[in-house]
Structure 1
Amino acid sequence: MTLLILGLLLFLGTHSLGIVAWQGRDAMVAKLGELPFKAIYSLISVIGLVLIVIGYGQARMDPVILYQPPDFLRHLTMLLVLIAFPALLAAYFPGRIQQTLKHPMLVAVKAWALGHLLVNGSLADVLLFGGFLVWAVADRISLKRRPQRAIPQLPGSKANDAIVIVGGLALYAAFAFWLHPVLFGVPVMR
């Protein structure tokens, strides 16, 4: 469990610089330069992500069960994750969906995390998915008080909404029917 917690602290900690210290983040970029800052940020994030994967895998071997979710919540989870994939793509494909969601990446993280909290009741699950959910909510709230940075994305187009929907549904199907069981050992469709 220690590796999972350390990984979450590193990964979500680096991603929280904009929430708790956006001016400090800007000062670090000014002092180090953008490329060195991004290199350090990325390295810490990757180390955190690796620790999350290893720590979560270890914690699943000897789970501490906090609650046993009812089976019918799987359907709600599938709906929330269905929303998450197009929202994730909408972050990079400007269109009406992106405008409507305002911060589609955070919508995707919140839908993914909440959905997984509904069907997973171990301590590791609560730490992992709850940590990401709390981070996404805090980041969304902080976006109302801090200046917006440009997000790299494709030029706006009417076709982008179609790309977001079709691509999101294709990603969802790939994960639901193939990737989730292969990568995580948990079948989505039972």
Structure 2
Amino acid sequence: MALLLVGLVLFIGIHSIRLFAPEWRQFMIEQLGSKNWKLMHAAVAFIGLMTTIMGYGYARYSAEWLWFPPVWTRHVAALLVLVAFFYMIVAAMPYSKTKSRIGVPVVVGVKLWAFAHLISNGTTADVVLFGSFLAWAVTNFVISKRRMRSEEVVYQAPDFKFDLLAVVLSLIAYYIVAFHLHAWLIGVAPFA
């Protein structure tokens, strides 16, 4: 469980600097330069993600069951994760209608992903991993939306073609992850 916690602190921590220490972040960007800051951020995030994946893999085997989710939660989780993929991909679309309405679609995607996994898994390792991401995403959403309102951020959204492209890409990504990468990375085949 310790490795999982270290990974979460690194990954969620580096992604929380903008939320909780924006002045320090700006100071570091000025000191290091934008490119070096981004490289450092990416390196810490990557190390944190890999450590989280490995830590979760180890923690799963010794974790205690807190509840035994009913089978229907897996079906709900599968649907929620598909929708989460859409939100995460639409975040990269430059002129998406969905992005203009939501503002922070990647955070909504993380919330759905975490909630889906939380309801369909019942061990202490699951609660630590997915509960941490869910708490971070909820906090991030509230802070980001408040900040966007105060800064009067406006997204341009000319049409739905980027949303349609996100639907297609999310279906492809979902298929690749659910049927191939998930078992390889996590050791669990969602549809086995």
TM-score w.r.t. structure 1 length?
0.88
**Residues 127-176 of structure 1: CA deviation (Å, up to 9, x unaligned):** 1111111111111111134367x9xxxx9664212210111112222233
State the partner residue of 1:114: 115
2:185 pairs, out of 175, 183, 186, with 183
Q: Distance in 2 between matches of 1:98 and 1:11?
A: 24
Which residue of the partner structure matches residue 89 of structure 2?
89
Do the aligned residues in 1 keep the contact of 2:103 with 2:145 (CA within 8 Å)? Answer: no
Cα distance in 1 between the residues matched to 2:21 and 2:147:
10
Give the equivalent residue in structure 1 for 2:34. 34
1:61-86 C-alpha deviation (Å, 9 max, x unpaired):
22222221111111110111110111
Shift of 1:123: 1.1
Where structure 1 has 5 or more consecutive residues not aligned to the other structure, the ranges are: none
Q: Which runs of 4+ in 1 moved over 6 A?
A: none
CA contact (8 A) 1:22 1:146 kept: no
In terms of mean alpha carbon deviation, does 180-189 or 166-175 score higher?
180-189
Cα–Cα, structure 1 residues 36 and 179, in superposed 2: closer, same or farther, change >3 Å? closer
Whether the 8 Å contact between 2:97 and 2:159 is mirrored in structure 1 is no
Q: TM-score, normalised by structure 2?
A: 0.87
**In structure 2, distance between residues paired with 1:77 and 1:16:** 26
| Residues 107 and 128 (structure 1), Cα distance of their counterparts in 2 relative to 1, 3 Å cut | same
Change (3 A) 1:183 1:6: closer
Unpaired runs of 5+ in structure 2? none
Secondary structure, aligned partner of 2:118? helix
For the 8 Å contact 2:182–2:190, the answer to whether it is kept is yes
CA RMSD of aligned residues (A): 2.0
Residue aligning to 2:163: 161
- Going from structure 1 to structure 2, the CA distance change for 1:156 and 1:59 (only over 3 Å counts) comes to farther
Distance 2:15 2:2 in 1: 20
